[in-house]
Chain A
């Protein structure tokens, strides 16, 4: 029983960050119809930005976090302006190839600058864990979970409660009509890609100190982000949130009670099962484009 409780707690904490990863990816796909293969690289970028802010600028972890998020926002806007804007209107395959190339450049660039040896980000949290009855959890993970939930809430608020969000949703439903109604669709695309990138960078900066920071850390994260987005339905933010928690649950309990060797396979088994029953994912929206 204690073991199950501990697994459940681990699931919640892991699921929060998975959701954050999934939302960034699904946002960009839903609104821009771009499969963002730089998502993993942006996750890595966020972690290194936080590392640099701590190691080179001497900032503490709480300040390094917004620095990393802003850096992700800026890099996302740059990628959109330089790579995606000139390609607007070309087919999906072309964009996909360009994004794969950009992802490789970012990862190799990180390797070139920082080398392959992992770095650690220091945090001010105590080593002693938070004890809740028989189960325990590190303070750092509690903070990461809370920050992930806060970021998810902010993203929801942004999409559903602001003028920018309304313009984003309008562009999502029909870009041409939105443009005719006076929405600056070009700006909306840049903003969307920047926000999606900032969320990936935030996930990297949050998980950097939980794990370690190395150039290939984004590979596994990207695979999981894609899995979550497919599970939740392409373009659905609530789907990505719930998908993140389902993936974490499958991994945690699969490793705990079936076989730890197949931990990463568990999530994909669930995805295959879901796609067999509901090929559009759990929460696909009817008006989804593409």
Chain B
């Protein structure tokens, strides 16, 4: 090693130590979200929601006199990157708890790292069943798994008069899981399940899949993917003259973004969402919802992002509640304290129930699920 290089690395090392000492005054929370790639829109909204929660908590004096500090990293919508980000957050930034990682495949890629380093993670968006049933005791989820989403949707199936359903899902753990869980629920209700078509997460042209669905004798298409791909699907459906009932799942639709980008092509579509920002009075915690939406608006963010960003807001609040209960920033203590968290989130009570194999259960909170309809550029709650 040459002399200047040795000096430089020594300087870098001391700088890193200094930085470590300075930030000992804050409590670090790792945030592992897709800020680029196909899920960039959603990940960015979640991070903005997280920032609102952090600022709110810090404005009230932080936790035990210490301010919280979000360490935000981009997982590029890529499972390999998501695992690398988790490793970086845990080993280099020393975050005792994390939030992430938006997509199911991203979260599943991170989960072995949680086992390796024994650090808990709050899962804010992912809906694959595998996340809470694979026996990872470091996982605490506030978003509904697709089985719960299907179960809450079940009573509406008869009233909508579904006969035969085709699926068009994103080709990853999220989409395939949703097709499985909704398919099983529909079959149990006597609804026929036809095609299950998939699309790559980066795909932009779904005309081939849609042409196939157009030729089938189904009356309804259940679609699972994020907002950008949904926008494209609606436009391409209109172009193909494909007029079947559409129901989307997963809660990452951002209906107002769909209205803005797909226009009339989105008219008549139904969506299962997990937040009702259009009607704050009807949400489980109207006061907190009003505060969150006010803050969202004050920061100049587009209203469309609210349905996604609330997950980041509630996620950070749940993490802060756990740290407060733990009374320390030891990952083990925080993991234990998650079981005692209980407060009213923007979408119902946040309280973790044990799920998965005995002895190494994951935590799952049970949120609300709403069915909404887009018509004439407006969103309305469908009450059946």
Contacts and interface: CB of A to CB of B under 8 A. Distances in A.
B240 interface: yes
A136 B264 contact: no
Contacts of A219: 202
Given A138-B239, A260-B199, A117 B40 contact: yes
Interface in B215-241: 215, 228, 231-232, 235-236, 238-241
A3 B208 CA distance: 9
B261 interface: yes
A141 B241 CA distance: 14
A216 B77 CA distance: 11
Nearest to A212: B228
A254 B200 CA distance: 14
Contacts of B265: 127
A14 interface: yes
Given A215-B36, A261-B198, A131 B209 contact: no
Interface string A117-158: 110100000011101000011101100000000000000000
Interface residues of A, number: 41
A10 interface: yes
A251 interface: yes
Contacts of A80: none
Interface string A264-287: 100000000000000000000000
B35 interface: yes
Contact of B261 (A120, A136, A251): A120
Nearest to A215: B36
Contacts, number: 107
Contact of A120 (B203, B231, B236): B231
Contacts of A116: 35-37, 40-41, 43-44
B238 A127 contact: yes
B231 A129 contact: no
A187 interface: no
B214 interface: yes
A256 B238 CA distance: 18
Nearest to A219: B202
B171 interface: yes
Interface in A243-263: 251-256, 259-261, 263
Contact of A6 (B40, B198, B205, B240): B240
A87 interface: no
A264 B199 CA distance: 10
Nearest to B168: A260
Closest 9 CB pairs of A and B: A116-B40, A138-B239, A255-B208, A136-B241, A3-B215, A211-B204, A120-B261, A261-B198, A6-B211
Given A129-B238, A255-B212, A261-B199, 5 more contacts: A116-B44, A118-B41, A131-B241, A252-B207, A263-B203
Interface of A: 2-3, 6-7, 10, 14, 111, 115-118, 120, 127-129, 131, 136-138, 140-141, 210-212, 214-217, 219-220, 251-256, 259-261, 263-264
30 contacts: A14-B207, A116-B41, A116-B43, A117-B44, A118-B41, A118-B231, A120-B260, A127-B238, A127-B263, A129-B238, A129-B239, A129-B240, A136-B241, A137-B240, A138-B236, A138-B239, A210-B235, A214-B40, A214-B228, A217-B204, A219-B202, A220-B204, A252-B208, A253-B208, A255-B212, A256-B211, A260-B209, A260-B212, A263-B199, A264-B203
